[in-house]
């Protein structure tokens, strides 16, 4: 057993590590961690392995408590955590399995612009997008929605924006769940959360959220890349944001509302951050209705961000977005709990799948995929740090069999934000990035320091593990050119 952790950890193969069910009396299933010998040391000692074991104690959990290759410590669940509970067998819902930034996710746009088209005007373009896209903690945007409109957004997601003439209907087809989870109920969202969202739909926020201009450096799967509309040398834009203050408030509200549920329903937990309630309970149903509302808000947020990016590029290059070939590749959620059917021990089972810092990775032929991706599988978008690369992968059958159709969601932190700021003291991260040919703009004083490349794992190594484990297959590697952060 590697040193530095209080859990028993067994290496199963080059990319899988097991925390045996019998290593703790309260565990109901094994823990399964996707990592390599070279990277497992970053995991041990940070508390994330204990969180994987803790999640394995949840009532109704099936198959295993999973951790993706970008695993690191989080609230309740580790970041990179995946767990599914059997709804019919008292399976629970845990807000800690979703997190504060409900439906934080990534949207990728492709263009007909080339790397050269962008590169010769890169500094000017980065400044242009920085001016046009609202970013930064607490910063509002050009869209002001009253409480009634925010509730419509929470109910209908992107569809409401289309009805208001604020968005094209084309993007919804290539957005996870069509940009709207059914079962949302804005009445389950507090007035305080609604107020926090009235000027934040269409804003980037701070932290690790970004708009990044990239280019396709290399294609690995020509068939899938063609289906996704990607080609080597093509300029792309990746958008990373979530439900902003509205989602944060929903999580905070329901952590309080559910805090007495474990004692009420006779659930013993090793960590109070795993507060939960049986799926069918009124408390869990209220949380799910509010969480779905926040998720729909997040999809609408990324939709409006994409619209602003389209308009910004159109004005900058003096051509319409159609002439520039700007089309959405896909949009994926990273922090969400969804009802899905998966085959367990040969039987279809209705599960509540928690993905906390994990991406859905459905295989070809799945009924939830848009027709254009039915024969290839779902695009899986993996943002890296702003100094290296991001990836487009595609879902696999093995992911469906082993991880509930889930994969990693990014590189994964190896430094806290406080540690990253300390490590950046006396340095100029923007100049360091400029030396690599990357123009970075940030609103906050510490934005670039917190998100410096050294704060993250090697995204290429993370992706190698995911592919070697069979969770997804490489399609294309995207290199950053210009980054806008809060």
Digit-by-digit pLDDT tens for the chain (486 residues) are: 344 467 899 999 999 999 999 999 999 999 999 999 999 988 988 899 999 999 999 999 999 999 999 999 999 999 999 999 999 999 999 999 999 999 999 999 999 999 999 999 999 999 999 999 999 887 778 899 999 999 999 999 999 999 999 988 899 999 999 999 999 999 999 999 999 998 999 999 988 899 999 999 999 999 999 999 999 999 999 999 999 999 999 999 999 999 999 999 999 999 999 999 999 999 999 999 999 999 999 999 999 999 999 999 999 999 999 999 999 999 999 999 999 999 999 999 999 999 999 999 999 999 999 999 999 999 999 999 888 899 999 999 999 999 999 999 998 877 887 888 888 888 888 888 888 888 999 886 677 888 887 878 899 999 999 999 999 999 999 999 999 987
Q: Looking at the 3D structure of the chain, how many domains does it have?
A: 1
380 lies in a domain? yes
Residue given tokens 């869209």 in the structure block: 143
What Å distances lie between residue 315 and 42, 115, 116, 310, 318, CA to CA? 45, 18, 18, 9, 5
The verdict on residue 4 lying in a domain is no
Identify whether 202 is part of a domain. yes
> Shortest CA distance to 331 belongs to which of 240, 222, 466, 224?
240
Distance, first Cα to last Cα, the chain = 41
Task: Quote the pTM value.
Answer: 0.95
Instruction: Tell whether 231 is covered by a domain.
Output: yes
DSSP, residue by residue, 194-220: HHHHTTTTT---STT-EEEEEEEEEES
CA–CA separation, 83 and 56 (whole Å): 8
Whether 5 is in a domain gets the answer: no
CATH (domain of 414): 3.90.1860.10
| Number of CB atoms found within 10 A of residue 28's CB | 16
Q: Could you report the per-residue pLDDT of 395-440, keeping only the tens digit for each?
A: 999 999 999 999 999 988 778 878 888 888 888 888 888 888 889 9
Identify which of 193, 194, 196, 208 has the alpha carbon closest to the alpha carbon of residue 251. 193
Q: Which of 209, 334, 342, 409 is catalytic?
A: 409
The answer as to whether 281 is a domain residue is yes
72 carries an active-site annotation = no
Asked if residue 1 is part of any domain, the answer here is: no
The domain of 240 spans 10-485
Instruction: Answer yes or no: is 67 within a domain.
Output: yes
**Distance from C-alpha of 393 to C-alpha of 472, rounded to nearest angstrom:** 6
């Amino acid at each position: 057993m590697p040193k530095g952790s209080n859990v028993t950890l067994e290496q199963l193969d080059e990319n899988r590590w097991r925390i045996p069910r019998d290593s703790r009396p309260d565990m109901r299933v094994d823990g399964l961690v996707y990592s390599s010998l070279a990277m497992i040391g970053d995991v041990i000692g940070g508390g994330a392995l204990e969180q994987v074991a803790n999640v394995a104690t949840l009532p109704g959990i099936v198959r295993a408590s999973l951790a993706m290759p970008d695993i690191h410590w989080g609230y309740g669940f580790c970041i990179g955590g995946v767990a599914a509970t059997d709804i019919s067998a008292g399976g629970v819902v845990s807000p800690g399995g979703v997190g504060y930034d409900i439906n934080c996710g990534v949207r990728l746009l492709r263009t007909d612009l080339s790397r050269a088209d962008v590169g010769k005007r890169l500094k000017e373009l980065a400044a242009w997008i920085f001016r046009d896209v609202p970013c930064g903690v607490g910063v509002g945007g050009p869209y002001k929605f009253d409480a009634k409109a925010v509730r419509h957004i929470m109910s209908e997601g992107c569809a409401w924006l289309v009805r208001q003439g604020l968005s094209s209907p084309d993007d919804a087809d290539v957005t996870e769940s069509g940009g709207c989870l059914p079962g949302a109920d804005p009445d389950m969202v507090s007035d305080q959360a609604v107020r926090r969202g009235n000027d934040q739909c269409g804003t980037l926020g701070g932290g690790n959220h970004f708009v990044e201009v990239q280019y396709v450096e290399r294609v690995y799967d020509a068939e899938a890349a063609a289906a996704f509309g990607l080609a080597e040398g093509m300029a792309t834009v990746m958008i990373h944001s979530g439900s902003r203050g509205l989602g944060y408030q929903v999580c905070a509200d329901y952590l309080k509302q559910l805090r007495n549920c474990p004692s009420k329903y006779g659930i013993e937990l090793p960590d109070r951050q795993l507060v939960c309630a049986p799926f069918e309970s009124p408390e869990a149903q209220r949380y799910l209705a509010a969480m779905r509302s926040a998720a729909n808000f997040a999809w609408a947020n990324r939709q409006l961000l994409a619209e602003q990016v389209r308009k910004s590029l159109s004005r900058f290059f003096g051509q319409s977005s159609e002439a520039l070939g700007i089309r959405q590749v896909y949009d994926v959620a990273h922090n969400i709990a969804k009802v899905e059917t998966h085959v367990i021990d040969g039987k279809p089972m209705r599960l509540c799948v928690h993905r906390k810092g994990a991406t859905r990775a459905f295989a070809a032929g799945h009924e939830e995929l848009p027709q254009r991706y039915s024969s290839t599988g779902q695009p899986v978008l993996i943002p890296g740090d702003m100094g290296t690369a991001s990836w487009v992968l595609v879902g696999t059958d093995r992911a469906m069999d082993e991880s509930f159709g889930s994969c990693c969601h990014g590189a994964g932190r190896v430094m806290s934000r406080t540690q990253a700021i300390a490590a950046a003291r006396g340095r100029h991260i923007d100049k360091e990035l400029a030396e690599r040919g990357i123009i970075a703009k940030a609103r906050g004083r510490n934005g670039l320091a917190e998100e410096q490349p050294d704060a993250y794992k090697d995204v290429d190594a993370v992706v190698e593990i995911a592919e070697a484990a069979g969770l997804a297959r490489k399609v294309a590697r995207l290199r950053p050119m210009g980054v806008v952060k809060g």
